Amino acid sequence: MIQVGIIGGTGYVGAELVRLLSNHNKVKISGISSAQYKGKSISSIYPGFYGLNELVCESQQEVMEKSDLMFLALPSGLSESIVEKAIHKDKVCIDMGADFRFKNEALYKKWYGKSFLAHSLHEQAVYGLPELNREYIRKSQIIGNPGCYATSVELALLPLISGGLIEENGIIADCKSGVTGSGKNLTESSHFVNCNESFAPYKVANHRHTPEIEENLSNISKENVKLTFVPHLIPINRGILSTIYTTPKKPMDIEKVHEKYCEFYKKENFVKVLPLGEISKINNVRLSNYCHISLHFDEENNKLIVISCLDNMMKGSAGQGIQNMNILLGFDETEGLTDVPAIF
Sign of CA dihedral 188, 193, 196, 198: negative
Catalytic residues: 148
Inter-residue contact 46 to 15 (CB < 8 Å)? yes
List CB contacts of 276: < 8 A, sequence separation 6 or more: 254, 255, 258, 295
- Listed in order, strand segments (DSSP E) in 150-302 are 171-177, 200-201, 227-233, 240-246, 271-273, 291-298
Helix (H) or strand (E) holding 92: strand 92-95
In whole angstroms, give the CA distance from residue 54 to residue 72. 20
List CB contacts of 252: < 8 A, sequence separation 6 or more: 297, 299, 302, 304
String of b and e for 169-188 (b: at least 16 CB within 10 Å)?
Answer: eebebbbbbbbbbbeeeeee
* Angle (nearest 5°) at CA 9 between 338 and 139: 60
